[in-house]
Structure 1
Amino acid sequence: MITLPNLALLDVVIAAIVLGALGYVRRYSLPRPPIGYSTTSDVLIMSCLVVVMPVGYLALPGPAVSAVFGVLFLASVQMTLAPVIGGRRATLASLLLVAVTVAAAVAGLDGMVLAFNALLIAISVIGVTSLWAQTGMSAGHVAAFATVLAVYDLFATGLGDLTDRFLAQVVGQPFAPLLAVTGGTAPVAAGLGDCLMLALWPMVAAKAYGRVAAWIGAVAGIGLIVLVEIGFATGVLRSGMAFLTVLGPAILIQYVLWRLLRGAERRTYAWLGVPASGLDTSGRVERLTGALRAAQTAETPSGTWVAVDGDAVIAHGPTPGTALRAARRAGYEGTPFVKQM
């Protein structure tokens, strides 16, 4: 039921996610995946997946869709918590959160399911958006992605019934991609995609154009949520309106204005406060190259993943994860450079 307390609670949760993401991305560094940095082609692939995946989900039964998102949340939560509490503890914590959510659903404790589902979504959104920002997703990439999502959401939600059919399939299920604060068939909620874009834009705006751009992006996003909610409460807008059709153009407009005012986006090293002249004065690249050359000389089998610290290979394994775990067992507490031989 749409009431002012329920809407206010949803706003508070969304604001906490946005602020949490801004704080997390500067404090914790996530290991980069083997694919490297985000590029324009990555954004195109993501856009295609956004269009295709909901259609595929409709072909699956509700419990199967719930299981898919459960696995995604499990991996995302582990990735997000690993730099904070360590990989092993993060794995246990993510397994515990998922298990408790399943247990609450089996026991029929709908309130607990909503609470734990919101926690899983919050942690996952913070981690995934931080990973995107740290792997080079630019403000231009996000603006383009938001525009694609706005057009898609207009047809899937505003003019079509694809989103309504998908929501009918997952509402009430554990691990639903829906940040809900009430239950029932018409919950007060924000979609997972909405939460991702609300958190991602201030983050990349901060990286590209500074703290002021980040705060404007955050306030604009949350302000738009409030305006749409007022429209719902007063009956001006129908429940289930495509929010991304509003947020997408707002992000694009902000990007264009910042581009006109500030010019090209600043690089990641400038965002982190590292002088450009000091990027490669430590000789780290040479030490890593020497360590990898030494590993090859030691006849490390081709395809093996090695964890490198400074000028030494400290661990190895058949996968990136096993190499990192071997490094931790060897007493290494940082985030080593991982490379496949």
Structure 2
Amino acid sequence: MSAGQHTFFVLVTLALSVGVALAAVASFRRFTLPRPAVGAFNGNDMVVMMAFVIALPFLYLAFPNWLLPPVLGLTLIGGLAVTWGPVIPSRALRWTLILGLIAADWLTARTAEDDPTHATPYWLVNSLMILLMAVGAANMNAQGGLRLRHVSRFALALAVYDLFFATVIPMTQRLFNAVQGYAFAPSAGIRVGDLGAVVGMGDLLVYALYTTVAYKAYGGRGLRVSLSLVAVFGGLLPPLAPLLVEAATGSLPSLVPAQLFFGPAAFAGYLVLRRGGAERRMAEVRPPAVPAGAAG
């Protein structure tokens, strides 16, 4: 990878990481979502989510090639339908937008001359869907009662998970290779000629969730701390790490999971923030929000 390619990779990774975090907080300030019917989200929900994260790669790798795109597409449709429901109350408009994005993703992937991983239009559409998914899911969990201690422990658990499946059992690289070249890849990025960069949906969701919950819990201070951690340990260090490893060992690693850096940093950030007092609950937060559906 040339210096120009690596610079592009770093800049795109930084922009996506910080951008999804800022978008999630902006959505938090703009929309008030209904309280979940099952009660507040808590640590038990994080355990369920962690189990889902562990099981998902095995499921994806077990699917035959022809079945993978439909499964990924249905996952995106379901996720967008749930997260957009409170924000776009018109059922017709909501499904028109969702199905329009799905169709655009499929068509741009199908019409790519080589494969979707080298098609700029495909990445623009696919990235938009993945970012919207991350923003919506982060807000549902943050406004549903999830607390920063839960998110920070989840990020730390992901760091252990990524370390194990990147070194002991190389599942992460196999999953990344398996979903590339198909429509509805669970990642966001851009490809322009020889320049390219991709960030996984899971990483983007963690950045959005951590920043939104930190803002809810500690206001402006939480936002500043969380955004700084996302920028440095999510946007900068992961794409720079392969170069640092190569300089130290002479060998360029094919994959360095981002959560190896962000997970411990996120947990440390929570420990710093909680020294300023207890976390605010959603009922105590009064952001300049408009109830979903009231605007326009």
Q: Output the TM-score relative to the length of structure 2.
A: 0.84
Q: Distance in 2 between matches of 1:63 and 1:122?
A: 25
Q: Distance in 2 between matches of 1:205 and 1:83?
A: 22
Q: Which runs of 5+ in 1 are unaligned?
A: 275-332, 336-341
Shift of 1:99: 0.6
Shift of 1:213: 1.4
Tell me, yes or no, if structure 1 residue 126 matches structure 2 residue 130.
Answer: no
> What does 1:203-222 align with in structure 2 at a 5 Å threshold?
203-222=212-231
Shift of 1:216: 1.5
Q: Distance in 2 between matches of 1:164 and 1:12?
A: 23
> What does 1:109-188 align with in structure 2 at a 5 Å threshold?
110-182=119-191, 188=197
Correspondence for 2:276: 262
State the Cα deviation string for residues 83-138 of structure 1 (Å, max 9, x = none).
Answer: 44433212110100001111111212622211111000011100000001011110
Paired AA for residue 155 in structure 1 = F
Contact 1:25-1:130 at 8 Å conserved across structures: yes
Tell me, yes or no, if structure 1 residue 70 matches structure 2 residue 73.
Answer: yes
Percent identity, please.
Answer: 29
Tell me, yes or no, if structure 1 residue 241 matches structure 2 residue 250.
Answer: no
- Which of 4, 8, 18 is the equivalent residue of 2:7? 4
Structure number with greater CO (CA < 8 Å, separation at least 6) is: 2
Bigger Rg, structure 1 or 2: 1
Correspondence for 1:320: none
- Which of 189, 192, 202 is the equivalent residue of 2:201? 192
Q: Which runs of 5+ in 2 are unaligned?
A: 114-118
Correspondence for 1:253: 268
Residues 62, 10 of structure 1: alpha-carbon distance in 2 compared, 3 angstrom cutoff: farther
Residues 241, 32 of structure 1: alpha-carbon distance in 2 compared, 3 angstrom cutoff: same
Q: Secondary structure at the match of 1:181?
A: strand
Q: Secondary structure at the match of 1:108?
A: coil
State the Cα deviation string for residues 229-272 of structure 1 (Å, max 9, x = none).
Answer: 2233564462420111111111111111222x223212112222
Q: Distance in 1 between matches of 2:64 and 2:37?
A: 33
Contact 2:147-2:217 at 8 Å conserved across structures: yes
Q: Distance in 2 between matches of 1:13 and 1:152?
A: 23
Q: Distance in 2 between matches of 1:49 and 1:82?
A: 23
- Which of 239, 264, 269 is the equivalent residue of 1:229? 239
Contact 2:241-2:256 at 8 Å conserved across structures: no
Contact 1:158-1:241 at 8 Å conserved across structures: no
Q: Distance in 1 between matches of 2:224 and 2:175?
A: 33
Aligned Cα root-mean-square deviation (Å): 2.6
Count of residue pairs the alignment pairs up: 276
Q: Output the TM-score relative to the length of structure 1.
A: 0.74
State the Cα deviation string for residues 279-311 of structure 1 (Å, max 9, x = none).
Answer: xxxxxxxxxxxxxxxxxxxxxxxxxxxxxxxxx
Q: Distance in 2 between matches of 1:270 and 1:49?
A: 31
Residues 66, 217 of structure 1: alpha-carbon distance in 2 compared, 3 angstrom cutoff: same
Residues 133, 189 of structure 1: alpha-carbon distance in 2 compared, 3 angstrom cutoff: same
State the Cα deviation string for residues 11-38 of structure 1 (Å, max 9, x = none).
Answer: 2233221111110012112344443321
Q: Distance in 1 between matches of 2:266 and 2:151?
A: 8
Shift of 1:60: 0.7
